[in-house]
Amino acid sequence: MSSRPAVISASPKRDHLLATAWRLFYRDGYRVVGIDTLLAEADVAKMTLYKHFSSKEDLIVAVIRKRSEEVQDGLAGAVQAAGRSPERRLLAVFDWLKGLFGEADFRGCAFIRALSEFPETDHPVHQVAWAHKQAVRKQLVGLAAEAGAKDPPALAEALRLLIDGALVSAHATRSAKPAGIARQAAASLLKAARR
């Protein structure tokens, strides 16, 4: 018996589809990009797609889940690289943001855009996008606690507001500046939250 996993997952075609779908969905939008466009771009047959994903919606969910993991890993890496100072570790989140905003193909937050394109809160795409925001919130609570905040969940929540706002601003202005504004505000909030 081969060691093939029970769930159909690790497949080169599947990965290639996910990567291409991510690129197009993020660039143009989840709804506006059609299956045929995606297949032409990926150079993959339609039946192959529907063998790996039950529907376009299912594909979108998978794309968002994968991106969520990448973002969480990137964030955790940036925090770890920031050293041991709890304050610096917390503010490293905003430096990481600045880097993200500076990328040439930055088009805003894929998760906020998913929440917007699928505004019904019980829609699977909406829910998986929101699950990402909650995962980030968890990371922030840890950092806030480390940094000695009196009420870590409260500080984390405020920081998330700053981050989401910065993501929106950076998208529309095509600028990394909002990261700096958010960073300064975060430092101020942290100071106040320690007292």
Partner DNA sequence: GCCGGAAAAGACAGGTCTGTCTATTTTGTT
Partner DNA sequence: AACAAAATAGACAGACCTGTCTTTTCCGGC
Determine if 67 is a binding residue for its own copies (CB under 8 A): no
| Binder among 8, 15, 19, 27 for its own copies (CB under 8 A) | 27
Q: What is the 3-state secondary structure (H, E, C) of the chain?
A: CCCCCCCCCCCHHHHHHHHHHHHHHHHHCCCCCCHHHHHHHHCCCHHHHHHHCCCHHHHHHHHHHHHHHHHHHHHHHHHHHCCCCHHHHHHHHHHHHHHHHHCCCCCCCHHHHHHHHCCCCCCHHHHHHHHHHHHHHHHHHHHHHHCCCCCHHHHHHHHHHHHHHHHHHHHHHCCCHHHHHHHHHHHHHHHHHHC
Determine if 44 is a binding residue for DNA (CB under 7 A): yes
Report which of 135, 153, 10 is spatially closest to residue 64, judged by C-alpha positions. Answer: 135
Q: How far is the CB of 121 from DNA (least distance, A)?
A: 21
> 80 to 99, contacts with DNA by CB under 7 A?
none
Binding-site partner at residue 152 among DNA, its own copies, none, CB < 5 to 8 Å by type: none
Q: Which stretch binds DNA (CB under 7 A): 51-59, 120-128, 147-155, 163-171?
A: 51-59
| Binder among 113, 125, 128, 147 for its own copies (CB under 8 A) | 113
| Binder among 9, 27, 55, 83 for DNA (CB under 7 A) | 55
| Binding stretches for its own copies (CB under 8 A) | 27-29, 31-32, 107-108, 112-113, 115-119, 121, 126, 129-130, 133, 154, 157-158, 160-166, 168-169, 171-174, 178, 181-182, 184-185, 188-189, 191-192
| Binding stretches for DNA (CB under 7 A) | 11-13, 33-37, 43-48, 50-51, 55-57
